[in-house]
Chain A
Amino acid sequence: MEFNYEVEGGNFAKAGNAASSVKKVLKQLNVDPKVIKRVVVALYEGEVNVVAHAYKGNIMVDIDTARIFIRIQDEGPGIPDIDLAMTVGYSTASAMVREMGFGAGMGLPNMKRNADSLKLSSKVGEGTIVELTTNLSK
């Protein structure tokens, strides 16, 4: 089952809407609360990344009984050095974003930690695609 959410760049008030909505869905599907927590934390980080760095983005969540797959696709500056972006503490966030309590350089590493797999591809000047998979082993 697929769910799609639009993300608006720069609007932090709405960051977290997709995560909350997915959370509601997963609770209704009787997914283990611990798994829900990991999925939602990773998705929230991804959402904030789009809001903080990109112009706009789209989140697709596909759920079946085996796994939860999330694709976060944005139109934005892209990531020139993916390895560096995955480093804990590294951030390109603006001073304004940091002032709001974001931009600690934890986003991508935190997403990786909370998902079973993370695939990242990016084109500088075009945008970034992050794909997260969480397995639902019984």
Chain B
Amino acid sequence: MRKQHFYHALKVDEQLCFGCTHCMNVCPTDAIRIRDGIASIHRNLCVDCGECMKVCPVEAIFVEQDDFQNIFDYKYRVAVLPSVFIGQFSKQISEGEIIDVLKGLGFTHVVPAEATVDSLNEAMLEVHNADHEKPLISSFCPSIVRLIQVKFPGLVNNIIATKPPIDSTAIYYRKLLLDEGKKAEDIGIFYVTPCASKIATVKDPVGESTSFVDGVINMDFLYNKVYHVLKTRGEEYTQKDENVPYISPKGLKWSLTDGESDHMKGRCLAIDEIHNVISFLEKVENDEVINVDFLELRACDQSCAGGVLLTENRFLTVERLKTRAERLEKTKDYYTEITPVHKEFIKDTLQLGKIEPRSVMSLDEDMGTALKKMERVRRIMCYLPGIDCGACGAPNCESLARDIVMKDAHLSNCVFLQRMMEKTKKLDPMHSIRIIEKTWGKDRLDKDCKKKGAKNESL
């Protein structure tokens, strides 16, 4: 079978993880198994949605980031900043203030990640007018693009092949600085990410061969730094930057739910949260949903405001961003500042490479073999209890049956079948203990009063 791997930003801390199954049960692509007492993520199935990280009770799932000090390797240090970063701060703090603080931390330039949305929007509308398979699906959310590649291969051609705003903004800004006469090796572009999937796409862009940024900084890390400065600075502060270039009402709201669909034509739907997206795409695939022109699909509830690396509550973030956008809309005090020449440049570089389906769901490349394997899965399912308890280390009985057929697990991994095998003397009770320890780790069955909810709970 073709082995292609996605780059993944989500990692499991083997010291912290204690194999609690929360992540395994919530994973929308059944990509997690428990082995030797810790969660392991199946690299081909993971779409970097971050649901596992959100649900982990001990913060054992984390997002790898570049060392902040790396920015000082460059003379010109650019932060590409998604609007939801600003949305986390109360409206008393102006956009200019936040950017001042970021500059104080070491950045020489701060550019909103949504700076290029007008050009992007135009390109998307051109695709709408062209003879393209409908419904069009936005390529904004990298997790959704990966989800479609993995789970809905029949819909890859519906994805609009334009780069997400962060990519095109990074490309544009680098070009701008080069045109100003700055040396290429002096420019470092850093993306402040709200989620795992954006990092993954920055490190390994779908349909592209090279990355557009020099590093990634997690949004929660930077939020803490900025918040700390705002909380501890004295009264003497006066804002230096009055107007913030590239911030527009449309850009501020682009990454929120309805941010794109409000600016597309025809019948548009915006759906957020990955499980909602999956159930909707099931319908699209069956042709149950017809006459829809555009789908804005986002993996997180409340779109990027619900990103796993945001600190502030997502509903507050949405409300604050909308208030900022409304204020700008009233004062009209914004300008986009992109020259016609650069607009052309942005348009020319927007095209994304081909998005290929990845048939990782299949049991075998050869249909005849796959049929045989499926027959075995169905036979095994006759014996498994069907209660999806997860005690075997797989999220449900069907996954275990699949794993057995794919030679990644054994029938005796099922605790119910273990009892039956012991009853018929096919399995020694000591052996089943060893099997359980193999899944859940050694000493896992021992008394432990420090676990959550126990007598001496300590986290």
Contacts and interface: CB of A to CB of B under 8 A. Distances in A.
Interface string A26-67: 011111011011001100100000000000000000011100
Interface string B353-386: 0000101011111111011001100100000000
Interface in A47-99: 63-65
A44 B285 CA distance: 10
Contacts of B361: 27-28
Given A63-B371, A64-B371, A136-B367, A34 B154 contact: yes
Question: Chain A CB within 10 Å — which of B283, B286, B366 has the most?
Answer: B286
A19 B367 CA distance: 20
A25 B374 contact: yes
Contacts of A16: 283, 286, 288
B287 A29 contact: no
A62 to B, nearest CB: 11
A129 B374 CA distance: 28
B282 interface: yes
Contact of B374 (A1, A40, A44): A1
Given A23-B285, A36-B154, A41-B287, A31 B375 contact: no
B153 interface: yes
A48 B289 CA distance: 13
Given A29-B374, A30-B362, A36-B154, A44 B367 contact: no
Contacts of B364: 30
A50 to B, nearest CB: 15
Contact of B287 (A27, A31, A44, A63): A44
Nearest to A28: B363
Contacts of A117: none
A37 B366 CA distance: 19
A20 interface: yes
B43 to A, nearest CB: 19
Given A1-B374, A1-B375, A25-B374, A30 B363 contact: yes
Given A25-B374, A63-B371, A65-B371, A30 B154 contact: no
A30 B365 contact: yes
Given A16-B288, A63-B371, A65-B371, A29 B363 contact: yes
Contacts of B362: 27-30
A98 B368 CA distance: 42
Interface string B282-307: 11011110000000000000000000
Contact of A19 (B286, B357, B363): B286
Nearest to A44: B286
B154 A31 contact: no
Given A34-B154, A37-B154, A29 B285 contact: no
B286 A20 contact: yes
A30 B358 CA distance: 11
Interface string A7-33: 000000000100110010101111101
B271 to A, nearest CB: 17
A40 B285 contact: yes
Nearest to A106: B290
Contact of B285 (A1, A31, A37, A136): A37
8 contacts: A20-B286, A25-B374, A28-B374, A29-B362, A29-B374, A30-B370, A44-B286, A64-B371
Interface of B: 153-154, 282-283, 285-288, 357, 359, 361-368, 370-371, 374-375, 378
Cβ-closest 3 pairs across A and B: A30-B362, A33-B154, A29-B370
Interface of A: 1, 16, 19-20, 23, 25, 27-31, 33-34, 36-37, 40-41, 44, 63-65, 136
